Chain A
Amino acid sequence: MTITLQRILEPDGRLVGEAPKLSESELRALFTHMLRVRVLDERMLKLQRAGRIGFVGTAKGLEAAIIGSAYALEKRDWLWSGLREGGAAVMRGLPLAEYLAQMYCNANDTAKGRQMCNHFQHKGSNYPSWSSVIGTQISHGVGAAYAAKVRGSGEVHAIYFGDGATSSNGFHSGLNFAGVWQAPCYFVCIDNGWAISVCNREQTAAESFADKGAAYGVPGVEVDGNDVLACYRECKRALDRARSGGGPTLIVLKTYRMLGHSSSDDPSKYRDQAEVDAWAARDPMDRFERYLLGRGLLKAGDRAMLEQELTTEIDAEIHRQEAAPPMALKTLVEDVYADVPRHLRLQYNKFIAVAERLGHAQKGDGAFPL
């Protein structure tokens, strides 16, 4: 099969394809959202190195893929995420305070500190909780899209995952069910080249991950994932197609994970620096900046100034999260079920009696009634 890579912006910022209809202020907003992803990434890594947070799933190099694709969505649409789409959640309404509380896994975290770092959720902008299990969210998104079709609620479900997830059960069952049901959803595979240490050539014998859609009757598109305009345009097409009842699309955004899989990973053990350097020359931020400079939508020095503004905003929020109150111990047994069942109340009450005796309990940690 021959799949043509969709590209609008050359790495030098030249326009070579049909640009999507975006206003000047929208183009500038896109740039700011991308820059926020990069600044957040850098700040989170520093916090991790300083021992303040435990884990960061890095996004450097993926800013165009994450932001350009998600910019296509309307507020009512859902984004089913993988590890690295937190920046898209912030763009779509996840408050920075909640983002950071989740990175700190503290008492301000809407998930009550139950997930490890970098597992965001935001009900207000339809960004469901993600588990660390690869590919399981794919069939969730398809089922939710089926529900949208049955209920006539009108929203579209954008389902994100990485190149490694194309080998998971969820990918095959998800795409297959979506094709059969013609569910109002589309799939965004952010192919960043590496599933931890396994490169995409070892993930599949297919020429392109986009080829895999054909087996399920789902058209596949391959896009330059470092070209924010192409990412936006192709996702908008898939979104419109899904919304109008045209069925799902598989979009593969080809990009490159510039850093390790996470703060715990050393990529120098499994890949050549020359490959990383080659991709650095295709940096999505630099490319879009060149385009905007060329159009006079940015001036020299704007990026540095914006970066400073974003850093100040993030740092202020970091200070607030550092002062979060301790986690209530009762959360140990809450939210397993809608109500805390008797056996969990008993388990907790035994535990809290010991904690109280040793002086480890806090205000509000009292026993459950039986």
Chain B
Amino acid sequence: MATLTLVQAVNDALKTAMRDDPSVVVLGEDVGPKGGVFLATEGLTKEFGKARCFDTPLSEDGIIGTGIGMALNGLKPVCEIQFQDFIFPAFDQIVSEAAKFRYRSGGQYTCPMVIRTPYGGGIRGGLYHSQSGEAYFCHTPGLKVVIPSTPHDAKGLLLASIDDPDPVIFLEPKALYRQVKGEVPEGKYTVPLSTLRTVREGKSVTVFCYGAMVPVCLKAAEQAAEKGIECLVVDLRTLLPLDEEGVLEAAKQTGRVVVVHEAPRFCGFGGEISALIAENAIEWMEAPIARVTGFDTPFPNTLEHHYMPDARRVLDAIEHVHGY
């Protein structure tokens, strides 16, 4: 088994899928000979030719719109949007078209496609290279929204997404691209969508998180453990469709819940987790649910490490709900 970084695992998944299925194609800006600005598509054009991994003109709307057409006509496109911040010109194509084709056609036309895009802060990218837009997509029935946090999951979830018969928004935590390393099996394997992962067992407080917040929460949980508070840390992995049963079960195990994401708080995914628990498991709760999130502001640059939840802020929330 090879030890890979998260971005290498993404690359490995793409190679595995393209070897496995000749209908898989990769398109986007700079994904060809350059191999993508983060090197996620490195070597693909060389191995599979430029008909299967190719640079497009600089138009996100065009990348997704033509990707939909490819999906409707027998290919399995994996579209890369260079930064999630640049996805909005394609929002119409994603929300009005990809997400709705199956429904509006009564199942006659479908869009099996993956839209990969790096998201999130921590790389000094400022407003337009740092945002976490998962909530926009989670509000759109017909899409699936997947966020890995480990190299193993990145490969297994991406392969499951490519196999999936519906459009998947695959958000890659760019802060973790080279920060995390892990063992990744060779060849094809999948991690099923809509299943969460228990990162750490604990009986005192449940911490829900995903993407780049997983290592932050793990660090906070270790610090809490030194104070005698054992946290159950849950990596949601797929936000839509969410493993609701798994979330409720994990919440009930401790009766004390912290939800962490770097996206703004208002209408953020944490609100959905909180509401789910409030509606279905309020009688198990021993404390109010706490959210640790980005501010309800645009993403800053110089002060980004104060904007993004860190172990200190997460620990504070853990201690608060534990001591309530």
> A interface vs B, CB < 8 Å?
78, 109-112, 114-115, 119, 121, 123, 128-129, 131, 133, 136, 138-148, 150-151, 153, 169-170, 172-174, 176-177, 180, 331, 334-338, 341-343
Which residues of the other chain, A, contact B69 by a CB distance below 8 angstroms? 139-147
Which residues of the other chain, B, contact A129 by a CB distance below 8 angstroms? 101, 104-105, 108-109
A68 to chain B, nearest CB (A): 25
A144-B70 contact in complex given A123-B108, A170-B65, A338-B166, C-beta closer than 8 Å? yes
Which residues of the other chain, B, contact A136 by a CB distance below 8 angstroms? 65, 92-93, 96-97
User: In whole angstroms, what is the CA distance A171 to B141 when docked?
Assistant: 26
Interface flags, B163-192, vs A, CB<8A=1, else 0: 001100000000000000000000000000
Query: Is B56 at the interface (CB under 8 A from chain A)?
Result: yes
**When the two chains form their complex, are residues A140 and B103 in contact, meaning their CB atoms are under 8 A apart?**
no
User: In whole angstroms, what is the CA distance A129 to B101 when docked?
Assistant: 7
Which residues of the other chain, B, contact A141 by a CB distance below 8 angstroms? 69
Given contacts A111-B106, A139-B93, A338-B110, 18 further A-B contacts (CB under 8 A): A78-B73, A111-B104, A111-B108, A131-B96, A133-B92, A136-B93, A138-B65, A139-B62, A143-B71, A146-B66, A146-B69, A147-B73, A148-B73, A150-B25, A151-B23, A172-B59, A338-B165, A341-B194
Which residues of the other chain, A, contact B101 by a CB distance below 8 angstroms? 129
Q: Contacting chain A: which of B146-154, B241-249, B294-302?
A: B241-249
Q: How many A-B residue pairs have CB under 8 A?
A: 146
**In the complex, the 4 A-B pairs of residues with the closest C-beta atoms, listed nearest first:** A143-B69, A139-B65, A173-B62, A143-B66
Which residues of the other chain, B, contact A110 by a CB distance below 8 angstroms? 105-106, 108
For residues 44 through 67 of chain B, which have their beta carbon under 8 Å from a beta carbon of chain A? 51-52, 56-57, 59, 61-62, 65-67
**When the two chains form their complex, are residues B102 and A337 in contact, meaning their CB atoms are under 8 A apart?**
yes
Which residues of the other chain, B, contact A343 by a CB distance below 8 angstroms? 241-242, 244
A123-B109 contact in complex given A133-B96, A147-B75, A169-B92, C-beta closer than 8 Å? yes
- Of chain B, the residue at the smallest CB distance from A128 is B109
**When the two chains form their complex, are residues A336 and B142 in contact, meaning their CB atoms are under 8 A apart?**
yes
**When the two chains form their complex, are residues A112 and B65 in contact, meaning their CB atoms are under 8 A apart?**
no
User: In whole angstroms, what is the CA distance A343 to B245 when docked?
Assistant: 10
Which residues of the other chain, B, contact A334 by a CB distance below 8 angstroms? 107
A89 to chain B, nearest CB (A): 13
B110 to chain A, nearest CB (A): 7
> B interface vs A, CB < 8 Å?
23, 25, 51-52, 56-57, 59, 61-62, 65-75, 77, 89, 92-93, 96-97, 100-110, 141-142, 144, 165-166, 194, 241-242, 244-245
- Of chain A, the residue at the smallest CB distance from B96 is A133
Can you list 8 A-B pairs with a CB-CB distance of less than 8 A? A128-B109, A136-B97, A143-B77, A144-B72, A145-B69, A169-B61, A176-B59, A336-B103
**When the two chains form their complex, are residues A114 and B141 in contact, meaning their CB atoms are under 8 A apart?**
no
Q: Tell me which of B23, B93, B104, B144 has the highest count of chain A C-beta atoms within 10 A of its own C-beta.
A: B104
- Of chain A, the residue at the smallest CB distance from B144 is A337
Q: Tell me which of A136, A146, A172 has the highest count of chain B C-beta atoms within 10 A of its own C-beta.
A: A146
User: In whole angstroms, what is the CA distance A328 to B295 when docked?
Assistant: 45
- Of chain A, the residue at the smallest CB distance from B97 is A136
B154 to chain A, nearest CB (A): 23
**When the two chains form their complex, are residues A174 and B108 in contact, meaning their CB atoms are under 8 A apart?**
no
User: In whole angstroms, what is the CA distance A244 to B77 when docked?
Assistant: 25
Contacting A177 at CB < 8 Å: which of B56, B108, B245?
B56
**When the two chains form their complex, are residues A114 and B92 in contact, meaning their CB atoms are under 8 A apart?**
no
A341-B241 contact in complex given A136-B65, A136-B96, A139-B93, C-beta closer than 8 Å? yes
A115-B72 contact in complex given A128-B109, A136-B92, A337-B142, C-beta closer than 8 Å? no
User: In whole angstroms, what is the CA distance A115 to B103 when docked?
Assistant: 9
User: In whole angstroms, what is the CA distance A280 to B203 when docked?
Assistant: 80
User: In whole angstroms, what is the CA distance A136 to B97 when docked?
Assistant: 8
A342-B241 contact in complex given A147-B75, A151-B74, A173-B59, C-beta closer than 8 Å? yes
Which residues of the other chain, B, contact A138 by a CB distance below 8 angstroms? 65
Contacting A335 at CB < 8 Å: which of B56, B57, B107, B194?
B107
- Of chain B, the residue at the smallest CB distance from A139 is B65
Which residues of the other chain, B, contact A144 by a CB distance below 8 angstroms? 69-70, 72-73
User: In whole angstroms, what is the CA distance A123 to B106 when docked?
Assistant: 11
**When the two chains form their complex, are residues B104 and A177 in contact, meaning their CB atoms are under 8 A apart?**
no
A140-B194 contact in complex given A115-B104, A150-B75, A153-B74, C-beta closer than 8 Å? no
User: In whole angstroms, what is the CA distance A139 to B63 when docked?
Assistant: 9
Which residues of the other chain, A, contact B70 by a CB distance below 8 angstroms? 143-144, 146-147
User: In whole angstroms, what is the CA distance A343 to B144 when docked?
Assistant: 13
User: In whole angstroms, what is the CA distance A169 to B100 when docked?
Assistant: 19
